Structure 1
Amino acid sequence: MNMGLFLIACSKLLTGVTGHLRMLCNTYISDAVESSKRSQAYGMLGVAFGLGFFVGPTLGAFLSNYYRSLPFAFSFASQIIALLICRIWVKDIPHVTGSEHLLTISDLNPLNALKSLTSTRYTFLLAAAMFVWEAATTGHHSIWVHYTSHRYQWDNFQIGLYMTVMGAATVFVQGVMVHYLVKEFGDTGCIYMGITCNVLAHIVIAYAQNTNVIFMCILPLSLSQVAPLSLRSQLSQDKSKQGTLHGSLSSLQRMSKVVGPLFTTTLFMRSIKSPTSHPGSPFLACAVIYLMVAPIVRYAINHHK
């Protein structure tokens, strides 16, 4: 194996082991922010990460024009700055009563960590809803470029323009709109609203005949992002073992990235090869999957004590 490729593989392995900053931020929010404002806090966190993903690739491409390794040096410097910011300004939170626990070998077992999602029926059902949601979302993302290139002959500019507008709309919803939506409809209402927006948008995308309609779907797709924020807020109601809970949710999210893309890419491949199949069938399937979240959430809320 080429040494450069080997080092890149090692760096990705190390990133996978240590790169759970978002999970730690979610845990901190669940402990530091009162429940009525937790969805908004998760929304602001989503804005921060969204802006990072929006600015980072562009900046990396710009820096690579000067020197190939410069983006990696900039990333290293950014991590050091983030560490200093956390060390200086982020305050410790007093331990929740009864949450003190010495780390054991069994705690390092990922399967044991996932048991925290089965601690109550309510937690298990909401975690299942989160898994279903993330599977459909990652499945959507995995075929988007191929679908728009195949059906609408989009070029790189159109794909980039769509993603830029979508990213800006999502940042606006998570940073501004989520505060008013949660205040008006509550977490449960926002979950149902997000499901409705996603189902309708995916049905429209499946049958859209021109790109103008696709761009119109950006509004409901961005509004749908209030649902996972509200789901996570509901899962954070129990103050005990938040680190384990959010770590398990992070693992569950990564598992969904295996299931969702495998399903939608297979369906898309078969749909474009078969003359009787519709190329938008993967998005119809995603609409059905999103719709499955509603009864799971409803059952969890109705039987929650």
Structure 2
Amino acid sequence: MSNAASHTPVRRAAVIFVFVTVMLDMLAFGIIIPVFPHLVQQMTGGDIANAVRWTGIMGAVFGLMQFVFSPVQGALSDRFGRRPVILASNLSLGLDFILMALAQVLPVLFIGRMISGIASASISTANAYIADVTPHDKRAAAYGLLGAAFGIGFIIGPALGGFLGGISIRAPFWVAAGLALANFLYGFFVLPESLPVERRSRVFSLRDANPLGALRLLRRYPQVFALATVFFLVALAQFSLNSTFVLYTDYRFQWGAHEVGYALALVGVCSALVQAVLVRRVVPVFGERRVMLAALLFGMGGFLTLGFATNQWLFLLGIPLLAMAGLGGPTTQSIITRQVDPGEQGRLQGAITSLGSVATIIGPFVFSQTFAWFIGSRAPLHLPGAAFVLSACLLFLGFILGWQATKGLAMPGSTRSPTDAAPASRAMTPLGDAEPGA
């Protein structure tokens, strides 16, 4: 007991660092959102259509780089430890933002966007770090904190970026670089290693450190493969918001930039509250399986509300329901991490991040085309909210898969599964079993 207690400050510092590093990364990316398309437009001679085309291409390339390099970074962290991979990512992001701030021609900006995709793939390592330093029954709360970090970063980032962009179109890139480099220095002096040498993978294999190799890892664990598929379906469903929210609300309710900004701020606030506060309170009471399945139902209800809302007030009621769906990500992550050996956590998280990157690549096209089709003259029925209805269908499929995959986890008020009865050397985290700094 005393040994576990002695490690509590270490774990608190580690979890807090990962929270801060993810928040600062998301803040850095959020800052450039309002100005990046305008910088592309400058470099394409002011042609809006050409700027939109290149912005879309760069977005797809960003997702492709994440897809390819997430398993690579995960495997590297399994072999050499989490700390060097996270620090290298932070340093690379800082230097990359400087490159984009100085870019004068489109090819340089394109290369910068590719590097951003590669470096940001370290989110898989951050997730593996959390699995290393938190006991099984505390992981959902820890992953909830990471979700809150995403929300906070994307609430503050775009607003700050818009303000800085009014000063100079390149100012947000310099501030983003400063945040990433400050994050590197913070980690260099604060971040402890979470994966002891004896629990690391013995070799680094390119055969496993690629998207197909990562999928082979998932297939070795049938329950993990099913839950990773649920994770992918949820990630894909969320792109109906990214791809159609602005155009849909303009088409249906004649919202302008201010109304959309307020609504997205409401999304961010609700999501951050659910992830940071609610996850840690409901999981110990109802158990991870029940919370995960309930979250999928909340998400279905939220998307259906958005899709069929006849007025803007009913539409806004769907936002808290969608925020409640955020209970599902941390619980699904927590369940998945318990099924995989500690020395493979990096590759596991790399595989999951790669699946999310596939959603990044195909989601915008699928939902934008669905929206366009169902407001067009050839549509079998006029349904502007069809993209949201499609998202609800994806979550329903995820609910069925999640239900089947987690039947053995149906234990009231418990976060332990039968697989937790593993030898102590594998089931315990390296930093003891005390309360994490959540």
TM-score, structure 1 as length reference: 0.93
Bigger Cα displacement from structure 2, 107-116 vs 236-245: 107-116
Aligned amino acid, residue 282 of structure 1: A
Aligned amino acid, residue 299 of structure 1: Q
In structure 2, what is the Cα distance between the partners aligned to 1:216 and 1:109? Answer: 42
In structure 2, what is the Cα distance between the partners aligned to 1:131 and 1:278? Answer: 25
Deviations 1:30-50 (A, max 9, x none): 110111111111111111222
Pick from 334, 343, 356 the counterpart of residue 240 of structure 1.
343
Number of the residue aligned with 2:309: 208
- The 3-state SS of whatever aligns with 1:224 is helix
Q: CA deviation at 1:267?
A: 1.7
Pick from 397, 404, 413 the counterpart of residue 292 of structure 1.
397
Pick from 267, 278, 282 the counterpart of residue 166 of structure 1.
267
Pick from 385, 388, 394 the counterpart of residue 283 of structure 1.
388
1:65 has 2:170 as partner = no
Q: CA deviation at 1:136?
A: 1.1
Does the 8 A contact of 2:250 with 2:256 survive in 1?
A: yes
In structure 1, what is the Cα distance between the partners aligned to 2:280 and 2:273? Answer: 11
Unaligned runs of 5+ in 2: 1-42, 45-103, 410-418, 420-438
Q: Identity of paired residues, percent?
A: 26
Structural mapping, 1:63-102, within 5 Å:
63-95=164-196, 97=198, 99-102=200-203
1:177 has 2:282 as partner = no
CA pair 175-112 structure 1, distance change in 2 beyond 3 A: same
In structure 1, what is the Cα distance between the partners aligned to 2:405 and 2:198? Answer: 27
Pick from 264, 280, 298 the counterpart of residue 367 of structure 2.
264
Aligned amino acid, residue 287 of structure 1: A
Does the 8 A contact of 1:135 with 1:261 survive in 2?
A: no
In structure 2, what is the Cα distance between the partners aligned to 1:246 and 1:90? Answer: 20
CA pair 159-233 structure 1, distance change in 2 beyond 3 A: same
In structure 2, what is the Cα distance between the partners aligned to 1:194 and 1:215? Answer: 18
CA pair 71-111 structure 1, distance change in 2 beyond 3 A: same
Pick from 347, 350, 354 the counterpart of residue 251 of structure 1.
354
Deviations 1:225-273 (A, max 9, x none): 0112211111111223111111111110010123333222222111101
1:22 has 2:127 as partner = no
Aligned residue pairs, count: 305
In structure 2, what is the Cα distance between the partners aligned to 1:21 and 1:205? Answer: 33
Does the 8 A contact of 1:152 with 1:211 survive in 2?
A: yes
Deviations 1:2-52 (A, max 9, x none): 752121111101111111232221110011011111111111111122211
Deviations 1:100-147 (A, max 9, x none): 322233344332123222121111111111111111111332111111
In structure 1, what is the Cα distance between the partners aligned to 2:331 and 2:249? Answer: 30
Runs of 4+ in structure 1 off by over 4 angstroms are: none
Number of the residue aligned with 1:196: 297
- The 3-state SS of whatever aligns with 2:387 is helix
Bigger Cα displacement from structure 2, 58-67 vs 141-150: 58-67
In structure 2, what is the Cα distance between the partners aligned to 1:6 and 1:144? Answer: 30
Aligned amino acid, residue 228 of structure 2: A
In structure 1, what is the Cα distance between the partners aligned to 2:150 and 2:236? Answer: 20
1:119 has 2:220 as partner = yes
Number of the residue aligned with 2:150: 49
CA pair 196-108 structure 1, distance change in 2 beyond 3 A: closer
In structure 2, what is the Cα distance between the partners aligned to 1:236 and 1:95? Answer: 17
Does the 8 A contact of 1:271 with 1:281 survive in 2?
A: yes
Deviations 1:59-86 (A, max 9, x none): 2222233333222121111111111111
- The 3-state SS of whatever aligns with 2:287 is helix
Unaligned runs of 5+ in 1: none
In structure 2, what is the Cα distance between the partners aligned to 1:119 and 1:97? Answer: 23
- The 3-state SS of whatever aligns with 1:65 is helix
Aligned amino acid, residue 245 of structure 1: L
1:104 has 2:205 as partner = yes
Bigger Cα displacement from structure 2, 5-14 vs 252-261: 252-261
Q: CA deviation at 1:186?
A: 1.4
Number of the residue aligned with 2:55: none
In structure 1, what is the Cα distance between the partners aligned to 2:206 and 2:400? Answer: 37
Tell me the C-alpha RMSD between the 2 structures. 1.9
- The 3-state SS of whatever aligns with 1:169 is helix
CA pair 263-67 structure 1, distance change in 2 beyond 3 A: closer
CA pair 67-106 structure 1, distance change in 2 beyond 3 A: same
CA pair 78-223 structure 1, distance change in 2 beyond 3 A: same
Aligned amino acid, residue 152 of structure 2: L
Does the 8 A contact of 1:140 with 1:286 survive in 2?
A: no
- The 3-state SS of whatever aligns with 1:105 is coil
